[in-house]
């Protein structure tokens, strides 16, 4: 899928099919995260891949605003180093790389914001030096039930040409 098509069709997915992603597909998604750029090339991230059904079920206990994680093919716990200055920005770029790469292979995802981070750390043996940025679910989905219409501010509200306030782009 061409990059702009990927960006312009991307939607959050919260209902998933049973179909499993192959290890090659999983590997490509996390590889896209590993290859992200970062300030000073710090690469302040690590990724914990979860693809066992029982662990995904357990994960839903910790994903307060994303219980649907129990249905997905795999999930990635995105770790970020709190001692790295630009860690949230850097790691968010890794997230977007993974989400777009997955989308190009017909897998949906959704950022999960409300987490029991301590519970996840304990259950998945994550060392205390890490912070958890998010947990990303990944899975195939039924395209007919996903809302592709983007609810966004209009171009006129957010674009300015040459100086602020020139509302010439609609």
Ligand X SMILES: Cc1cc2nc3c(=O)[nH]c(=O)nc-3n(C[C@H](O)[C@H](O)[C@H](O)COP(=O)(O)O)c2cc1C
CB of 54 to ligand X, least distance (A): 23
Closer by beta carbon to ligand X, 153 or else 168 = 153
Complex with ligand X: residue 85 or 114, whichever CB lies closer: 114
Cβ 123 to ligand X shortest distance, Å? 19
Q: Select 12 or 122, whichever has its Cβ closest to ligand X.
A: 12
Pick between residue 22 and residue 140 the one whose CB is nearest to ligand X: 140
Using CB under 6 A, list all residues that contact ligand X: 11-12, 14, 65-66, 110-114, 150
HSE-up of residue 2 (Cα within 13 Å, Cβ side)? 3
- At closest approach, how far in Å is the CB of 124 from ligand X? 19
């Amino acid at each position: 899928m061409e990059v702009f098509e990927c960006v312009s069709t991307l939607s959050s997915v919260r209902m998933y099919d049973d179909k499993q992603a192959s290890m090659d597909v999983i590997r490509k998604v996390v590889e896209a995260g590993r290859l992200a750029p970062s300030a000073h090339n710090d690469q302040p991230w690590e990724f914990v891949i979860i693809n066992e059904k029982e662990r995904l079920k357990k994960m839903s206990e910790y994903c307060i605003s994303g219980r649907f994680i129990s249905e997905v093919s795999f999930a990635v716990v995105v770790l970020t180093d709190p001692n790295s200055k630009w860690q949230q920005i850097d790691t968010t770029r890794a997230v977007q790389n993974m989400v777009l790469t997955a989308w190009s292979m017909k897998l949906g995802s959704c950022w999960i914001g409300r987490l029991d981070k301590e519970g996840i750390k304990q259950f998945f043996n994550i060392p205390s030096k890490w912070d958890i940025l998010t947990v990303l679910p990944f899975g195939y989905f039924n395209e007919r039930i996903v809302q592709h219409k983007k609810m966004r501010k209009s171009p006129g509200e957010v674009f300015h040409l040459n100086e602020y306030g020139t509302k010439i782009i609609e």
